[in-house]
Chain A
Amino acid sequence: MRGRSLNTKIVTLLIAALGACQVVTLVAVLVATHRSVRADLERELQTADTAFAQLFEQRYLQQLESVDVLAADFGFKRAAASGDAPTIASALGNHAARAEAALAVLVDPAGAVIAASGADPALFDSPGWQGLVQNAREHDIDARTLAVGGRAYQLVAVPVQAPQRIAWLVMGFHVDDALARRFRDLTGREISFVSGGEVPAVVGSTLPPAARGDLPATLVTAPVDGTRALYLDGDDWLTRVRPLDARDGAVIAVLQESLSRALAPYHELSLRLALLFVVALGAASAAGIAVTRGITRPLRSLMNAAARIGEGHYGTPIAVEADDEVGRLAATLDSMQSEIGERENRIIHQAHHDELTGLPNRRLAVERLHGAIARAAGRPFTVAQIDLARFKHINDTFGHHVGDVVLEETARRLVGALRPGDTVARLGGDDFFVILEDCVLEAGLAVIESLRTILGQAVSLDGMQVSPDFRIGIATCPEHGDDPAALMRRAEIALYDAKDSHRRTVVYASGRDDDHLRQLAIVSDLPGALERGEVSLHYQPKISFVDGRAHHAEALVRWTHPEFGFMPPDEFIQVLEESGNIGLLTEWVITTAIAQIRAWADDGLDIGVGINLSAMDLLDLELPERLVAHVEAAGLRRRQLILEITESAVMRDPQTAVDVLGRLREAGFRLAIDDFGTGYSSLAQLKRLPVDELKIDKSFVLNLREDGDDATIVRSTIDLAHSMGLAVTAEGVETAACYALLQSYGCDVAQGYLIARPLPAADLEAWLRAMNARGGAFLVRAA
């Protein structure tokens, strides 16, 4: 369509431009022709007018001469002198016939008519006649044109000498159609004679009858001075008017030429010109179409070629036979096509291969795995994910260059060691993946072991020896999955298990994937669980040995998952910490606990709450401010909140922990080291910790007996803490004996099943009210 549109555009433009030119030319030619013809005609008419005037005068002269000859005829003189009117009249008639005159009159020297022949008597009463006679008497002769009774005459008067002037002979000649025709033959123009007066009449004319009929009225309404066009009977007539006698203008001659007649030859010219233009237009259009086709046909094949390239077909050569721009464009497009093809192959290769080792990448590995699964059709085969152990260490120690060399060497060794049909891929980083088709688990394990031997050989590099070590996770199809994603995931899980268990090769164990999925579920389900109330806080009261009262309770998270049921806090807290999602839970615990303290305070129960912060929480530098904001918003005292941090959490990054704890303490919160005794903290570190309290881990308290090792540890820990100004809380107090022993050691606070299990808020409230009812102090029941 685009090609046709271009065609149409060019041809349309061409035709429009040419047509416009031609129309303009034609109009200009016609206008110029018309003007020129009219100007020529005006000139010709003027010339004809002049010629006519001379001819008309000439005619007067000829008439004068012929009449003069007649007047000199002796016989005529004798007749004229005879005085006999009939004789004279007959002589006049005879002479008029000789001179081909219409009338002849003899006038005596006084001006009276002696005799007449062929003359209308009305003629002698006309002013023109009087003027004729008068002028003849004065000038001897006279000549003029007169109209009378609808006819016009050219009159000449000459004297009759015998030998003195005895009379004037006047002869009149018709001014009529015949005369007009004669002048038309001489001048080549239409001639009309029009008698003047109030009602002009055409007395003679060569015009067509209709035009002749229109002439008098037109002359009256449009007087002609010089040359002008008159519209007569549907045609324009260029007209000049000449009075035949300047003295009274009784009769005028009208010289005319039809414009349309003058233009007639040019009409044919115009037609031919128009025909020529049409032919030229047609030829130009055909040429235009041919030329634009010549342009657009290769363009269309280029367009098709471009479309083919767009669809990804690069194989068809572009054949445009032209040595012009289009040909060069075709050649360019052709080379572009092959270059694009090469580039696309390269990109496709890059998209499926690892740049460093040239091995298939994860994407291609997945595709190969698809193929392998399809080919296996249920028969078992083995896959393995191989991880270069301590690769980070190699990179850090020897540099990335060495790391890359080791990876390349490993790739080479893998390819060299495996069968040609097997797939070796690099999944990324230091992870390789192999597909061992038609290879049951046992055979696969054997292959893997031989691989390990080959891979484990030292890599020499610039005199250095790098001995790589590998962890390998193995999975088999279809036992461990019959789709690529499952197989790869399970091989990876086996690999992680190998890493975690410090074993070199681990075959995927059924169910491991479920643990993995459960951990994923913990992370993904937590926000919803918080919203839906699946997570709640339980509170385990702590009893002061001093007064037996419960000043605080430790808040403990409980999550009842709709699918997994009760979730052990250690499990999901660890997963959340490892996945970096613990902050969400901590925030929820803080707001829930503070709201609870507020609620209890409103109900008249004065009890603080201990909240567990994870190691991750300690890295949250904004935590102190947030805590302050929450507490103040709730209108609580800061000492009502005890923040408990495990010793192991502190030991993960002691410096940051000391900073954050210092700021929390400055903010007025009470801090406690949880699970003390399990984190290997030194005394020096302990000394630096800005805490108020140590919570001795329940592992030391559960089996506390007076003569046991634990007793020594607990007692010395209590003494140590007290010596450092710290309060001591013992966790895991389950027996009255234990309670008594701790009391004897001077422990400050006890927490454990002996006192109460962790209780829902409502239950704790009931528990507290029951205790308060008993006097407010905890009473140890004998075991």
Chain B
Amino acid sequence: MSHFPNTRRVRSIACLCAGLLSWQFAAARGLEVVVDGAGDAAVVVALYAADGAALGVAARDRTTHVVDQVNKRFVPALTAITVGDAVSFPNSDDIRHHVYSFSPAKTFELPLYHGVPTAPVDFDVAGKVVLGCNIHDSMAATIYVLDTAVHTLTIDGIARFPDLAAGDYRVVIHHPRQVNDDGARRFAVHVDADAPARLDIGISLASPPAPELSALEARFKALRDEP
């Protein structure tokens, strides 16, 4: 538990900070995206040019993210990175894990290991990468490899993009359980030069899978009980 602080408390602090920042940049040009319908779930909000071109990719350094494995879970379960970034998969458990991905955007395997692997994994292709552990079927995590550098992960439903040039933008919302074909939804937004813009978005998520799949027999029984 010491590695996993109270989510609600963290989120309250984040809200307070966001509120202060919002106030501070209220007069400046910026975009506030309010996502409704995700509940407590974190949501990836990415920003593109109106024509879908990436923003700020060329002028950035390679960043290394961390997806830890704590108590037979991936932490965080949802991560958004920019193409070219790397992710390190330290193992904080005292058991071995076998992290893998068969996703087309990045197929890799980290065979059974302890501690921190020697090298982080590079993600050079945009796309959705689903992580699993070959040892523990219940472990799953998603990494969105985004081909734009402007993106954020909201935990309170509000994503702020300050200091934006006025113009038209495209907002893309990613979530593994978002109900549509590929888990992404796209919205257009205009940002004025002298006033902050606000975009209200409603999404809907499929109910999360049961924390653990019920036994096969129970599922078979349920199947048989189906009229």
Interface pair B140/A164, CB less than 8 Å apart: yes
Residue-by-residue, is B36-76 near A (CB-CB < 8 Å gives 1, otherwise 0)?
Answer: 00000000000000000000000000000000000000000
Interface pair A72/B137, CB less than 8 Å apart: yes
Count class of interface residues, chain A: 20 to 34
Residues of A within 8 A of B219 (CB): 139-141
Residues of B within 8 A of A163 (CB): 130-133, 137-140
Residue-by-residue, is A67-82 near B (CB-CB < 8 Å gives 1, otherwise 0)?
Answer: 0100010100110010
Interface pair A162/B130, CB less than 8 Å apart: yes
Q: Known contacts A162-B130, A163-B140: does B102 contact A68 (CB below 8 Å)?
A: no
Quick check: is B222 within 8 A (CB to CB) of the other chain?
yes
Enumerate the 10 nearest inter-chain pairs by beta-carbon distance, A residue then B residue, closest first. Answer: A81-B102, A163-B132, A163-B140, A74-B134, A162-B102, A139-B223, A164-B130, A141-B219, A68-B216, A64-B216
Residue-by-residue, is B189-227 near A (CB-CB < 8 Å gives 1, otherwise 0)?
Answer: 000000000000000000000000100110110111010
Number of B residues near A (Cβ < 8 Å) is 23
Residue-by-residue, is A31-65 near B (CB-CB < 8 Å gives 1, otherwise 0)?
Answer: 00000000000000000000000000100110011
Interface pair A65/B130, CB less than 8 Å apart: no
Quick check: is A142 within 8 A (CB to CB) of the other chain?
yes
A222 to B224, CA, bound (A): 29
Quick check: is B107 within 8 A (CB to CB) of the other chain?
yes
Residues of A within 8 A of B176 (CB): 164
Interface pair B226/A139, CB less than 8 Å apart: yes
Residues of A within 8 A of B226 (CB): 135, 139
Closest A residue by C-beta to B130: A164
Interface pair A143/B137, CB less than 8 Å apart: no
Q: Known contacts A72-B137, A81-B107: does B132 contact A162 (CB below 8 Å)?
A: yes
Interface pair B216/A61, CB less than 8 Å apart: yes
Interface pair B137/A161, CB less than 8 Å apart: yes
Interface pair A65/B140, CB less than 8 Å apart: no
Residues of A within 8 A of B100 (CB): 74
Quick check: is A166 within 8 A (CB to CB) of the other chain?
yes
For chains A and B in complex, what number of residue pairs have CB atoms within 8 angstroms?
52
Residues of B within 8 A of A142 (CB): 223
Q: Choose among A74, A77, A143, A164 the residue that contacts B220 (Cβ–Cβ < 8 A).
A: A143
A68 to B98, CA, bound (A): 20
Residues of A within 8 A of B131 (CB): 163
The binding surface of chain A is classed by DSSP as helix
User: B75: shortest Cβ distance to chain A, in Å?
Assistant: 16
Q: Choose among A57, A77, A161, A162 the residue that contacts B224 (Cβ–Cβ < 8 A).
A: A57
A164 to B143, CA, bound (A): 13
**20 more A-B residue pairs beyond the given contacts A139-B219, A164-B140, with a C-beta to C-beta distance below 8 A:** A57-B224, A61-B216, A61-B217, A65-B217, A68-B216, A72-B137, A140-B219, A141-B220, A142-B223, A161-B137, A162-B130, A162-B132, A163-B131, A163-B132, A163-B133, A163-B137, A164-B130, A164-B132, A164-B176, A166-B102
User: A194: shortest Cβ distance to chain B, in Å?
Assistant: 22
Residues of B within 8 A of A68 (CB): 216
A552 to B176, CA, bound (A): 184
User: B193: shortest Cβ distance to chain A, in Å?
Assistant: 43
Residue-by-residue, is A275-316 near B (CB-CB < 8 Å gives 1, otherwise 0)?
Answer: 000000000000000000000000000000000000000000
Q: Known contacts A65-B216, A68-B216, A164-B130: does B102 contact A77 (CB below 8 Å)?
A: yes
Residues of B within 8 A of A139 (CB): 219, 222-223, 226
Closest B residue by C-beta to A78: B102
Q: Known contacts A81-B107, A166-B102: does B137 contact A141 (CB below 8 Å)?
A: no
Which positions 142-169 of chain B face chain A at CB distance < 8 Å?
none
Residues of A within 8 A of B217 (CB): 61, 65
Q: Known contacts A81-B107, A162-B102, A164-B130: does B140 contact A143 (CB below 8 Å)?
A: no
Residues of A within 8 A of B134 (CB): 74
A60 to B224, CA, bound (A): 11
Residues of A within 8 A of B220 (CB): 60-61, 64, 141, 143
Q: Known contacts A68-B216, A163-B137, A163-B139: does B223 contact A143 (CB below 8 Å)?
A: yes
Which positions 62-113 of chain B face chain A at CB distance < 8 Å?
98, 100, 102, 107
Closest B residue by C-beta to A140: B219
A142 to B133, CA, bound (A): 25
Which positions 5-64 of chain B face chain A at CB distance < 8 Å?
none
A57 to B134, CA, bound (A): 30
User: A71: shortest Cβ distance to chain B, in Å?
Assistant: 11
A143 to B219, CA, bound (A): 11
Closest A residue by C-beta to B133: A163
Closest A residue by C-beta to B219: A141
A74 to B223, CA, bound (A): 26
Closest B residue by C-beta to A83: B104
A141 to B98, CA, bound (A): 26
Interface centre among A64, A65, A162, A163 (most CB of B within 10 A): A163
Residues of A within 8 A of B216 (CB): 61, 64-65, 68, 141, 158
A140 to B219, CA, bound (A): 8
Residue-by-residue, is B111-140 near A (CB-CB < 8 Å gives 1, otherwise 0)?
Answer: 000000000000000000011111001111
User: What are 27 residue pairs bridging A and B, where the CB atoms are less than 8 Å apart in the complex?
Assistant: A57-B224, A61-B216, A61-B217, A64-B220, A68-B216, A74-B98, A78-B102, A135-B223, A135-B226, A139-B222, A139-B226, A140-B213, A140-B219, A141-B219, A141-B223, A161-B132, A161-B137, A162-B130, A162-B132, A163-B130, A163-B131, A163-B132, A163-B133, A163-B137, A164-B130, A164-B176, A166-B102
User: B198: shortest Cβ distance to chain A, in Å?
Assistant: 34
User: B6: shortest Cβ distance to chain A, in Å?
Assistant: 27
Closest A residue by C-beta to B222: A139
Residues of A within 8 A of B133 (CB): 163
Which positions 155-178 of chain A face chain B at CB distance < 8 Å?
158, 161-164, 166
Residues of B within 8 A of A57 (CB): 224
Closest A residue by C-beta to B131: A163
Interface centre among B107, B138, B139, B220 (most CB of A within 10 A): B220
Closest A residue by C-beta to B141: A163
Which positions 70-101 of chain A face chain B at CB distance < 8 Å?
72, 74, 77-78, 81
A139 to B214, CA, bound (A): 12
Residues of A within 8 A of B138 (CB): 163
User: A417: shortest Cβ distance to chain B, in Å?
Assistant: 140
User: B223: shortest Cβ distance to chain A, in Å?
Assistant: 5
Which positions 579-616 of chain A face chain B at CB distance < 8 Å?
none
A163 to B130, CA, bound (A): 7
A60 to B226, CA, bound (A): 16
User: B187: shortest Cβ distance to chain A, in Å?
Assistant: 25
User: A634: shortest Cβ distance to chain B, in Å?
Assistant: 137
Residues of B within 8 A of A81 (CB): 102, 107
Residues of B within 8 A of A61 (CB): 216-217, 220
A78 to B132, CA, bound (A): 12
Which positions 89-144 of chain A face chain B at CB distance < 8 Å?
135, 139-143
Closest A residue by C-beta to B142: A164
Residues of A within 8 A of B223 (CB): 135, 139, 141-143
Residues of A within 8 A of B222 (CB): 139
Residues of B within 8 A of A135 (CB): 223, 226
Residues of B within 8 A of A140 (CB): 213, 219
